[in-house]
Structure 1
Amino acid sequence: MVVGNAHVKETRKLSRRSERSERRLFLADGPKAVEGALEVPGCVVEVFATTAATEQYADLAAAAPQWTLVDDRALASLSDSVTPAGVVALCRFLDRPLGHVVDATRLLAICADVRDPGNAGTVIRCADAAGADAVVFAGRSVDAYNPKTVRASVGSLFHLPIAVEPDPAAAVRAAQAAGLQVLAADGAGEVDLDHADDLLAAPTAWLFGNEAWGLPAELAGLADHRVRIPIHGRAESLNLSTAAALCLYASARVQRQ
């Protein structure tokens, strides 16, 4: 199917968070993201592609419910990438109710007021790689469907459940009510990650805070324990997504022994 500019223009509005929230639709840019989206039944509404990309990604074209040909300029207007790969999927939102996500979970990541889309997407990717069961975006966190978040997840957004909870404290309490201990990643924590194996063996929700100011004291206080990552060199701190990777993998290592 070949479409005109009006359809592309309407789809391009999904670059705005308000438009995404109202329509519960978002764009997944690039072959890896499109491939991941197509693996989720009912997720993909339509795929936009250039003629060259259609030839290159014939397997994706065969799997898509609707494959729409557009010219390079139209495709570029839908892509957030500096060098578009020529294929963008229109997808339905994937998030699930918080109660469904925390139920029967052994390893969970809660992002509280995480604002940077690249960090958010990388946390999703790390959680997926570590075998976590879900990720919760809480408080004033970046939209999970922000184009940069989707791209930084490198397809992992489609691999594990996502929940959105406006109140970070409610996310913590829901995790605890589901039988998870909540461990707050905190540079001033009383527990050293290197000596926390006994704790890490239990079903766990890791609580990660904002990139700049970390976790508010009242939110960290709701956690069962506050855990610090030891810094052996002179670095002041660790990037959020790096800290998340270390914490999630520490849990995965112990839980899988």
Structure 2
Amino acid sequence: MLTNPRAERVKAVRALGRRSSRERAGRFVAEGPQAVREVLAFRPETVADLYVDPQVSERRADILTLAEEHDVRVHECSPEVIAAMVDTGQPQGLVAVCRPVDVPLKDALGASPQLVVVLTNVRDPGNAGTVIRAADVAGADAVLVSDASVDVYNPKVVRSTVGSLWHLPIVRGVSVLELFDACRGSGLRLLAADGVGTQLLPDTDVRTPHAWVMGNEAWGLEPAVRDACDEVVRVPIYGHAESLNLAMAATLCLYTSAQVMRRDA
């Protein structure tokens, strides 16, 4: 059992909270039962090591069974070691060190995609993770994350996806122009979601293949990016709220598309 919170192995896991360390090691951290269960169920080959508090493992036998089935290395750790590995205030006793799961752009868009979301300049980890989760709920074909957006392997992003990171293709580190060219090459219309849009979401044609383009939390889409899209769509607000946050707007747009496309299928 690992009991020393200052051990080099523990420090190496903790360092994966920093982007530079993740890129150097080619690893990232998934923490908590939901995230660990989903990566073991959907992408077990990407799990390099699993660290477990024995007190938690007694309650999460299903997770350990998955790890055993896929020959994942399991290390028992004291609660102090688990706490030293992660940046959460209340560690949940399970930490998986994982290999990246993002895919090349051509692979993500290679099978006639119908519904995609593009994050052009999203900086908040919670928003990025929630959009990935919403895309999963809506049955989207892929999430394309530009090089100007937050790293999808940021621990807060991973937690916010609640396991959806391993459910659908994720592209990262590509310029917005490249993403747009690839989307158009795959037959996708580009729908900019922005508060300045004159086209309302309920009036927008979402029956044909398209990509929702989402911008920054504070200033929305840059004018050049917005102008490069085929339509600029606004979610109507019927009450007194000034606006919706990014994740809420993306969820509404994606779910509207999913409902219409499945109804007309």
TM-score of the superposed pair, with normalisation by structure 2: 0.93
Look up the match of 1:255. Answer: 261
- When the two chains are superposed, the root-mean-square deviation of aligned CA atoms in Å is 1.3
Counterparts of 2:153 and 2:105 in 1: how far apart (Å)? 17
Q: Which of 99, 106, 116 is the aligned partner of 1:108? A: 116
Q: Which of 103, 117, 122 is the aligned partner of 1:96? A: 103
Gaps of 5+ in 2: none
1:85 aligns with 2:92: yes
Counterparts of 2:191 and 2:221 in 1: how far apart (Å)? 12
Counterparts of 1:74 and 1:137 in 2: how far apart (Å)? 33
Look up the match of 1:214. Answer: 220
Q: Which of 54, 58, 63 is the aligned partner of 2:61? A: 58
Gaps of 5+ in 1: none
- Provide runs of 4+ in structure 1 moved above 2 Å: 1-4
Aligned residue type for 1:153:
T
1:15 aligns with 2:21: no
Counterparts of 1:41 and 1:2 in 2: how far apart (Å)? 23
* SS in structure 2 of the partner of residue 42 of structure 1: helix
* SS in structure 2 of the partner of residue 36 of structure 1: helix
> Are the counterparts in 1 of residues 187 and 209 from structure 2 also a CA contact under 8 Å?
yes
Identity across aligned pairs (percent)?
44
Counterparts of 1:67 and 1:165 in 2: how far apart (Å)? 31
Counterparts of 2:16 and 2:57 in 1: how far apart (Å)? 23
In the TM superposition, what is the alpha-carbon distance from 1:162 to its structure 2 partner?
A: 0.4
Counterparts of 1:25 and 1:208 in 2: how far apart (Å)? 27
Counterparts of 2:128 and 2:206 in 1: how far apart (Å)? 23
In the TM superposition, what is the alpha-carbon distance from 1:2 to its structure 2 partner?
A: 4.4
Look up the match of 1:127. Answer: 135
In the TM superposition, what is the alpha-carbon distance from 1:189 to its structure 2 partner?
A: 1.3
Counterparts of 1:19 and 1:3 in 2: how far apart (Å)? 23
In the TM superposition, what is the alpha-carbon distance from 1:6 to its structure 2 partner?
A: 1.9
Look up the match of 1:31. Answer: 33
> Are the counterparts in 2 of residues 2 and 68 from structure 1 also a CA contact under 8 Å?
yes
> Are the counterparts in 1 of residues 118 and 212 from structure 2 also a CA contact under 8 Å?
yes
Counterparts of 1:157 and 1:88 in 2: how far apart (Å)? 16
Look up the match of 1:69. Answer: 76
Aligned residue type for 1:117:
P
Aligned residue type for 2:221:
L
Aligned residue type for 1:229:
V
> Are the counterparts in 2 of residues 184 and 220 from structure 1 also a CA contact under 8 Å?
yes
Counterparts of 1:241 and 1:10 in 2: how far apart (Å)? 32
Aligned residue type for 2:139:
G
